[in-house]
Amino acid sequence: MDRQLYPTLNLIDSLRPNHSRLIDAPGADSLERTARKLVAEHWSDNVWLTGRVSAASFTAVVERLERMA
């Protein structure tokens, strides 16, 4: 997959290297849209600058996306 098409999924996948990649899921387009909404709800804008997100916020987003994948 083109990582530029799915920047949110790419970031999430880079933070969980030992798991199946969300960016490769059949519904990656839909997952990216959902991921963007969830990130806006759960993560601060600093995540994009620092790459740091709280474990609880990260887990909340990832669990939701994994259920959809």
Considering the chain, what percentage of its residues have pLDDT values greater than 90?
Answer: 65
Q: How long a stretch of residues is the chain?
A: 69
Average pLDDT for the chain: 90
CA–CA dist 12, 28 (Å, integer): 13
Please tell me which residue, 38 or 11, carries the higher pLDDT value. 38
pLDDT tier at 47 (50, 70, 90 boundaries)? confident
- Rounded to 5°, the CA angle 25-27-29 comes to 110
Kindly state the average pLDDT of the residues 51-60: 89
3-state secondary structure the chain: CCCCCCHHHHHHHHCCCCCCCHHHCCCHHHHHHHHHHHHHHHCCCHHHHHCCCCHHHHHHHHHHHHHHC
pLDDT tier at 22 (50, 70, 90 boundaries)? very high
